[in-house]
Amino acid sequence: MYSRTGTIVNETGLHARPASDFIKAANRFKAKIKIRRKEVPTDVNAKSIVSLLTLGLEKGAEVVISAEGEDETQAVNSLFDLIETGLKE
């Protein structure tokens, strides 16, 4: 298992459109990917838009993304690349 912690930087947080982009990126990988707020111990499926939106990730929210599987490191790092660039917003 591989995981990283980071911060949502885009002004509008992870609302529907950037969440959709995040889901598309997550679905490119075979690994099982989870995401959660840093302060909350419950993970959700990072490949499910409904689950992702329930987290209510606003600007400044700290998140932990973890993955398990053959491409786990690439998956987590790729998703953090999206987050760190503000999900192109």
Is 15 labeled as catalytic in the residue annotation? Answer: yes
Question: Could you give all domains of the chain from N- to C-terminal order, each with its CATH number?
Answer: 2-88 (3.30.1340.10)
The pLDDT assigned to 21 comes to: 93
pLDDT of res. 87: 78
**Digits of tens for pLDDT over the chain (89 positions)?**
999 999 999 888 988 899 999 999 999 999 999 999 999 999 999 999 999 999 999 999 999 999 999 999 999 999 999 998 887 66
Catalytic residue among 15, 20, 48, 69: 15
Round to whole Å and give the CA distance between 32 and 71.
9
Tell me what pLDDT residue 89 has: 63
DSSP code string of 27-85: TT-SSEEEEEETT----EETT-HHHHHHT---TT-EEEEEEESTTHHHHHHHHHHHHHT
